[in-house]
Structure 1
Amino acid sequence: MATAAILGTGAVTSLTVLAAPVCRRIGQPVVVGQLVAGVGLGLLPGRLTAVLFPAEVLPFLNVMAQLGLVLFLFSVGYELDLRFLRTRQRAVLLVSAGSLLVPLALGGVLGWVLWDAGLLGSAPGVRAGPAVLFTAVALSITAVPVLAGIVRERALTASLPGVVALASAGVIDAIGWLLLAAAVAAATTGRQPGGRSAAFAGYLLVLVLVLRPALRRWMPPGRPAGRERAPVVVALVLASAWCTAQLGLHPVFGALAVGVLMPRDRDGSPDRDLRHAVEQAGSALLPLFFVVTGLSVRIGRLDGADWLVLGVVLLLATAGKLGGATLAARLGGLGRRDSLIVGTLLNTRGLTELIALNAGWSAGLIGRHLYGVLVLMALVTTVLTGPLLTRLGVPSPGRGHPHRQRGRRLTAPAPPRAYGEPRGSGGGNASRTGSGGAP
C-alpha cells in the first residue's frame, strides 16, 4: 500500500513539473498546467488508473490532498488585500457587484430549473434553498490565485485593468466564501440539527477576540515573522480547519479564516517569508487534489442531458462573469479594451472553483453528474482566459514582453494606467477612462 502511494504521488509530481514549461510556451500560467495535468491523470483508462491509484490508497491520497488544500487556502486568505478600495472605490465596487450579482442571479435561475428537473442530484434531506444557492455561487467564483499568476505573467501588475481585476476578485472571493459557507452550513445543519449555529458563533468570537489579538502581540507590525514561526502558524491553521470540520463545514473555511485574521506589515502586505514557507508546503501536496478531483469525474458516464447542461452552464457562466464585469467596468469609467480585459480576467475560475465544488459535493448539495459538469466548466473557462487575453493584444508569457515583472508583488506602486499606455503618462489616462487614472 505504501509503495503504491509513493508511486502515485511520484507520478503526479513528475507530470505537474513537466507541465510547467509546456504551459509557458502556450501562454498559460503554470497553475493551469498543474490543474489540467492532475485532472487528466485522474481521467486515464481504468486499468492504468488502478495501477497508479489503487482503491485502498485513495483515502491516504485524499488526506494529503486535504492538507495541501488547507495550507493553500491559508495563503489565499493571507494574500487577500482590499486596500485598493480606498483609492479606486467606484470602479472596484461596480466591477465587484457586476461580476458577482449577475452570475449569482443566472446561477440561481439555473439552480431552480435543475432542481425542478431533478438534475441537481442533491443528497436526501437537502432542501432546495441551499442547493440552489450553491449552484449560484459555483457560477460566481473567481480564482484569485490563478488570476494573480496571470496578471503577473502578463505584466499587468501596474495597469488599470490588472489592478481593478485583482481588487475586485478579492472582494468577490470574500463574499463568495461567506455565501458558500452559508450554503454548506444550511445543508449540514438541516440534516443534523443541534447547537451548531451557537458553536459556530463561539468559534468566530474566539478567532476575533482571542486569536487575533494574540497574533498581533506575537507578530507586531514592522517586525519580520520569519520562517521559524511557520510551524506554529501551520498548527493554528490545522486546528482551525479541524474546528470547522467538526462544525459540519469544509476544513478550508477554518484555514481561510486564520489567513484573513493574520497580522500584516504596516503597508498591509503579508509577511513574505512566512507566507512563502506555508505556501511551499501546501504547493507540494496540492497536485494530489487535482488527481482526486479527476478521479471523481467520470466523463464516460455523462449522458446527453449532462452535455446539454454543460453547454448551458458554460454559456451562463461566461455571459454572467465576463459580460457582467465588462459592463460594470465601462460604468466605472474604464475604456472598452480595458473593460474587456477586466471581464476576461474575472472569468477565471480554476482551483478556487474546484475547492468550492469539492465542498459542495462533500455536503451533498450536488450529485456526481453535476459535479463533473461544473468541474469541466471550471477547466474550460480557466484555459480560455489566456487565448482571450492574447486576442485582446495582451502579450503572452514567454514571448519577450518588454515589461515583464517576475517575482514582484501584485501591487500598483504608481497610479495605474490604461493597458498599453507608456509608464509616466497617467495624465493621458483621464481622457481615455474618464476617471483621472483612479476610478
Structure 2
Amino acid sequence: MANISHSKDLVIAITMADIAIILLVGSVLGWLVRHVRQPPVVGEIIAGIALGPSLLGLLPGDLPSLIFPSEVRPYLSAIAQVGLLVFMFGIGWEFDKKLLKGRGSTAAAVSVTSVVVPFGLAIGLAALLYQRHNTVDGDQVSFTAFALFMGAAMSITAFPVLARMLTEHGMLGTRTGALALASAAIDDVIAWCLLALVAAIVTASDGAGDLAQTVIFSALYITAMLVVVRPFLSFLMRRWGRDRMAPQLIVVLVAGLFLSSYATTWIGIHAIFGAFAFGFIMPSEYRGVFGEEARKPFAGISMVLLPVFFIVTGLNVDIGALSGRDLIELAAIIAVACAGKMIGASMVGRMSGMPWREAGTLGILMNTRGLTELIILNAGVSLGVLDSRMFTMMVVMALFTTALTGPFLPKPPVRVGQTALLPRQEELAGAIP
C-alpha cells in the first residue's frame, strides 16, 4: 500500500477488488434485511455506512483507508456516478406521466400538503441549525441556499423505493397504496424542481446575473429536449426498435443520457437532472416489447454499479464524529422529517374519508426516502451546501425513515417470477380516488 501512488496498475487492481467487496457485502446485507421486512436498499445503505469510519473505522488499523485508499476513491466515485446516472435515466423512463394527471383531487391534495408541511417545518429547523453549519470547506453558505436545500431534502418521497415496497407487499391494488404512489410521483417532481433552484442559486456566483443565465439556459435545455430530442428518439424507435431493440439504439440512448447529464452540469443544475430528464422525455408509446427489452441492460448496470454509490456515500458518513449537540440536532431532524410527512399526508387522507389507521399508513408510506434522499444529499455535498456533520445526520435520517416503513406494512405475499422494475399503470387503474 505504501507504493500505491507510484503504480497506476495497482490502483486499478485495488479498485476492482473494492468493487467485488462492495457487491458481496451489499448483497449479503440486502438479503438479510429482507428477513426483517426491509427493502434491499436499506441493507445496501447500512453496508455503505458499515464499511466506512462509522463501523469499520472503529477497529484497529484504519481499515477504511486500507481497503479504500485515497488514490482509489476517485475511481470509485466515477464508477458510482455512472451507476447513479443510469439509475436516474431508468427512473425517468419508468416514470408514468399518467400518474401526474387525471388521478383525482385527493392525490393532488396529499402531494401538496406532504411537500408544503415538511418544507415549512424544515425552513424553521434550518433557521435553528444554520449558525452551526453555515461554513463548508471554508466557504460561507447562504441561508437561502441552506434553507431551500433542507426543505427539498425533507419533502422528498422515494418514488422508486416506494413502488417496489408496495409491489412486494401486495398494496398496489389498494386505495392507500395507489394514492401514496401517485402522490409520491408529484412530490418528487416538486422536490427535484426545488433542488434545481438550489443548484442554480449556489452556482450563480455573481448573484442575480448568473442566476438569470442559469434559468434561461435551463429553459432552453428543456425546450430542446421536448422539441428536438424527443421527436428524434421517436424517429429512431420507429426505425430501429418497434418490436425488437437494435444494438445501435442502446448506444444512442447511453450516449444521449451522458450528453444530457453533461449539458445540465454545464448549465449548473447537476448531472442527475440531465439523466432523469433524458429518461423522462423517452416516448411512452414504446413501453411494450421494446421497452421491456431495452430496460434490461440499464437495470443490470444499475444493479451492479449502484452499490458502489452507497459505499462512496458511506465513506463520508462518520456517526462517531457526532457530538452530543449533534445528536440532539439529529433527533430534531428525524422528528421534523417524520412529523412533516405524517401530518401532511395523514391530515388530507383523514379529511378525504379514510379511517385513522388507513390515513396513518398513508403518512408512513409518504415518509419513505431511501435512495432518492441519498442522491439529493450527495448533490448537496457536491454543491457545497452541506458540511460533513450535517451530511451524516441527514443520511441517518434517510435510513431511519425508510426502515420505519417496512414493519407497518402487511406481510409480503409469496410471488413467483416477478421481474417488473416498477408497477405498470394498469395495476393502478381505479385504485386512486
Contact 1:111 1:131 in 2 (8 A): yes
* 1:153-212 Cα shifts (integer Å, max 9, x gaps): 111121111111111111111111011011111111135864444333332222122111
Contact 2:242 2:290 in 1 (8 A): no
Contact 2:245 2:290 in 1 (8 A): no
Matches within 5 A, 1:183-198: 183-190=198-205, 194=210, 195-198=213-216
Stretches of structure 1 that go unaligned for 5 or more consecutive residues are 418-436
Could you tell me how far 1:387 is from its partner in structure 2?
1.5
* 1:207-230 Cα shifts (integer Å, max 9, x gaps): 122111111222249934627322
Could you tell me how far 1:49 is from its partner in structure 2?
1.0
Q: 2:400 aligns with which of 373, 377, 380?
A: 380
Cα gap change, 1:411 to 1:209, in 2 (>3 Å): closer
Over the matched positions of the two proteins, sequence identity in percent amounts to: 35
Contact 1:102 1:321 in 2 (8 A): yes
1:364 paired to 2:398: no
Could you tell me how far 1:333 is from its partner in structure 2?
3.3
State the distance in 1 between where 2:427 and 2:92 align.
Answer: 25
State the distance in 1 between where 2:49 and 2:246 align.
Answer: 32
State the distance in 1 between where 2:109 and 2:323 align.
Answer: 39
Could you tell me how far 1:85 is from its partner in structure 2?
4.8
Cα gap change, 1:350 to 1:94, in 2 (>3 Å): same
Q: Which region of structure 1 is more displaced relative to structure 2, 372-381 or 265-274?
A: 265-274
Secondary structure of the structure 1 residue equivalent to 2:379 = helix
Residue identity opposite 1:235 in structure 2: A
Q: Equivalent residue for 1:118?
A: 132
Residue identity opposite 1:164 in structure 2: L
Residue identity opposite 1:280 in structure 2: G
Cα gap change, 1:56 to 1:104, in 2 (>3 Å): same
Could you tell me how far 1:294 is from its partner in structure 2?
0.8
State the distance in 2 between where 1:237 and 1:414 align.
Answer: 29
Residue identity opposite 1:118 in structure 2: R
1:207 paired to 2:220: no
Which one has the bigger helix percentage?
A: 2
* 1:62-113 Cα shifts (integer Å, max 9, x gaps): 0001111111111111122242454531121111112111101111111122
Could you tell me how far 1:412 is from its partner in structure 2?
6.0
State the distance in 2 between where 1:14 and 1:143 align.
Answer: 25
Q: 2:291 aligns with which of 255, 261, 271?
A: 271
Q: Equivalent residue for 1:308?
A: 328
Q: 2:161 aligns with which of 143, 146, 150?
A: 146
Matches within 5 A, 1:32-111: 32-43=42-53, 44-45=56-57, 47-111=62-126
Contact 2:134 2:143 in 1 (8 A): no
1:348 paired to 2:360: no
Q: 2:19 aligns with which of 1, 4, 9?
A: 9
Contact 2:51 2:314 in 1 (8 A): yes
TM-score normalised by L of structure 1: 0.87
Secondary structure of the structure 2 residue equivalent to 1:18 = helix
State the distance in 2 between where 1:402 and 1:66 align.
Answer: 35
* 1:31-71 Cα shifts (integer Å, max 9, x gaps): 22222212322232262112210010000100001111111
Q: Which region of structure 1 is more displaced relative to structure 2, 154-163 or 242-251?
A: 242-251
State the distance in 2 between where 1:403 and 1:41 align.
Answer: 33
Residue identity opposite 1:103 in structure 2: P
Residue identity opposite 2:188 in structure 1: D
RMSD: 2.5
Cα gap change, 1:438 to 1:203, in 2 (>3 Å): closer
Could you tell me how far 1:302 is from its partner in structure 2?
1.1
State the distance in 1 between where 2:21 and 2:286 align.
Answer: 43
Q: Equivalent residue for 2:3?
A: none
State the distance in 2 between where 1:337 and 1:61 align.
Answer: 44
Stretches of structure 2 that go unaligned for 5 or more consecutive residues are 1-10
State the distance in 1 between where 2:135 and 2:401 align.
Answer: 23
Secondary structure of the structure 2 residue equivalent to 1:271 = helix
Residue identity opposite 2:186 in structure 1: V
Could you tell me how far 1:268 is from its partner in structure 2?
9.7
State the distance in 1 between where 2:181 and 2:288 align.
Answer: 15
Contact 1:143 1:353 in 2 (8 A): yes
* 1:124-164 Cα shifts (integer Å, max 9, x gaps): 25322121100111111111111111111111121111111
Cα gap change, 1:174 to 1:225, in 2 (>3 Å): farther
Contact 2:45 2:314 in 1 (8 A): no
Residue identity opposite 2:303 in structure 1: S
Q: Equivalent residue for 1:155?
A: 170
* 1:222-271 Cα shifts (integer Å, max 9, x gaps): 93462732221111000111111122222111101111111112779992
State the distance in 1 between where 2:432 and 2:157 align.
Answer: 23
